[in-house]
Amino acid sequence: MSRKNKRDFDYNPYYDDPQPDPAPAKRKLSKKRKAVNITVAVLSSLSLLVGGGCMYAEGMISNINTMSSDDEFQINSGLVSQLEADNQANAVNSRIEIGDGATRGLYHDSAVMNILLLGVDDYQANDVGRSDSQMLLTIDTRHKKLKVTSFMRDMYVQIPGYSPNRINVAYSLGGPALTVQTLESNFGVDIDRFVIIDYDHFEDIVDTLGGVELEITAEEANLVNRHSGESSSKRLTGGTRVLTGKQARYYSRIRAIGNDQARTERQRKVVMSLVEKLKKSDLFTINNALSKILNMITTNINTNEMLALVSNAMTYLNYPMEQNRIPFEGGYENTFVTISGQRASVLIPNLRQNSANLVEFLYEDDVPPRVK
């Protein structure tokens, strides 16, 4: 037998080796094999977990309602005619600034993802409705922050291809794509994706998460009790309370207390409270909630992007949160215009000041170049 083959058999515990004292070699082999077996077992388990997790995530994400940015919305010709009539009646339109986002390009940073959240109501059958709530959720991985910016619905701006109007009318004219285009052209910030949540699903989302904890006033509690449609057994009083989906929906839309600034602040409070709740939840709870919530939204976030967001959810949820509002206080003119033949109060923003405010909030000291 060759020396090589002899050495091979020397390390075989089942071979009757004539050499003296083979025990040390056997013990060394046993430890080595044990380490290898443990390593293989751990790696195999991790592979199964990762593979199973990916399959689970892909299955969960497949339930999302997807929409392309190019999907067209049926234009309401009656609405367009009304807008044209309003435009002729509004001498104030000459004071509306034209944003330079379309001509100079948009501020874009690959480390900052801007997702427009649209809360939409269907006002009647076969009507796409209007975006009652418009918030920009920013995942800033450069500064490791989550940022929420409200755009007030009473802002009176130029809608690309149409006459000036309240910003929420853009959704009725061209859906999420025109809403994104309107915000981008006016404020110069790149909006990467959008998510649409209709208000019926908003209730379900809040209830799926076990309600939302908010500090409310006695006056707000009274309005919620009277108008939310929730049962009398769940009446609220002022203080820190857990609101159901119906209660949170009405709370987010209160306009009888304060103004639209106060209303958008309530909406941000709801969103930030839900995020804080998820921060305190374990991975199982988050996955369970996501599996139920994802099929309640419509978005143009693609599968790979959604997988990346879900896989990094725990990291992002641990980011501190900051909030902003456009137009900011002092950055607009409050005036009256004619809308649908009636006198209505609107906010005409100073686009230069508000664009600078938004860019500074989103990008801080790392303002990126504009990209056309």
Amino acid 3: pLDDT: 42
pLDDT tens track of the chain, all 372 residues?
A: 444 443 343 434 333 444 444 444 444 555 556 555 555 555 554 444 444 444 455 666 666 788 876 676 667 777 888 888 888 888 888 889 999 998 999 999 999 999 999 988 755 545 556 677 899 999 999 999 999 999 999 999 999 999 899 999 999 899 999 999 999 999 999 999 999 988 778 888 899 889 999 999 999 999 999 999 999 999 999 999 999 999 999 999 898 898 788 889 999 999 999 988 888 887 777 777 777 788 888 999 988 898 888 888 889 989 999 999 999 999 999 999 998 888 999 999 999 999 999 999 999 999 999 998
Q: Token pair of 128, please?
A: 């796409």
Distance CA 290, CA 225 (A): 29
Structural contact between residues 346 and 166, judged by C-beta atoms closer than 8 angstroms = yes
Domain ranges (residues) in the chain: 23-62, 68-210+245-371
Q: 5 CB contacts (<8 Å, ≥6 apart)?
A: none
Q: What is the identity of the amino acid at 65?
A: N
| Residue indicated by tokens 């209007």 | 130
Amino acid 37: pLDDT: 58
Q: What is the identity of the amino acid at 164?
A: P
CATH of 68-210+245-371, one of 3.40.50.11540, 3.80.30.10, 3.30.365.10, 3.40.630.190: 3.40.630.190
What is the pTM for the complete model shown?
0.79
Amino acid 335: pLDDT: 94
